[in-house]
């Protein structure tokens, strides 16, 4: 997982073609101006989901990972609690088996987890990064963009 401020996103160019496509889109577009919902960047290889919400209490949040896409989760305005654990965490338990249509497996974990505030920044999560998002820091509105980046094999 890579966590940082959006101003530094260009540092991560060169990891993969699809990540470069996402970074170029960020550098050349106003993400706050995107319409809510899905916007294609490079067909189904790279696209963005734009959302506005009030984050949920931590006990209503869940860990997840994806088999075919990386998440580049970007908090544009506001803040939320973000959680992380590695796929090798021995306390990790599948709560919802893999859903191929949504490309997601959901989990719970009782130890070896890290929580931090994602405050107008980004988290790039890979397949092995079990992550938790949209958790409440306060009752303020969160403006967010999640860029889905197909894993290149």
The CATH number given to whatever domain includes residue 31 is 2.60.120.370
The confidence score (pLDDT) of residue 126 equals: 97
Vertex 9, ends 42 and 104: CA angle to 5°? 55
The confidence score (pLDDT) of residue 130 equals: 98
- Domain tally for the chain? 1
Could you say which DSSP state residue 152 is in?
P
The confidence score (pLDDT) of residue 73 equals: 98
The confidence score (pLDDT) of residue 117 equals: 97
The confidence score (pLDDT) of residue 55 equals: 97
The confidence score (pLDDT) of residue 74 equals: 98
**What is the tens place of the pLDDT at every residue in 42-70?**
999 999 999 999 999 999 999 999 999 99
Give the range of the structural domain holding residue 28, as residue numbers without chain letter.
2-150
| Among candidate residues 70, 55, 62, 61, the one with its CA nearest the CA of residue 19 | 70
The confidence score (pLDDT) of residue 152 equals: 84
- Residue numbers in the chain where pLDDT is lower than 50: none
Query: 9 CB contacts (<8 Å, ≥6 apart)?
Result: 23, 26, 27, 122
């Amino acid at each position: 997982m890579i966590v940082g401020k959006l101003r530094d996103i260009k540092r991560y160019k060169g990891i993969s073609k699809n990540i470069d496509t996402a970074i170029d889109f960020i550098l050349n577009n106003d993400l706050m101006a995107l319409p809510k919902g899905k916007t294609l960047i490079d067909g189904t290889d790279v696209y963005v989901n734009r959302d506005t919400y009030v984050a949920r209490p931590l006990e209503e949040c869940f860990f997840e990972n994806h088999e075919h896409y990386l998440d580049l989760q970007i908090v544009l305005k506001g803040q939320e609690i973000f959680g992380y654990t590695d796929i090798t965490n021995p306390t990790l338990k599948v709560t919802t088996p893999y859903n191929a249509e949504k490309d997601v497996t959901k989990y719970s974990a009782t130890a070896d987890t890290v929580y931090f505030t994602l405050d107008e920044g980004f988290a790039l999560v890979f397949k092995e990064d079990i992550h938790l998002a949209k958790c409440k820091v306060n009752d303020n509105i969160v403006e967010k963009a999640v860029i889905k980046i197909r894993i290149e094999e």
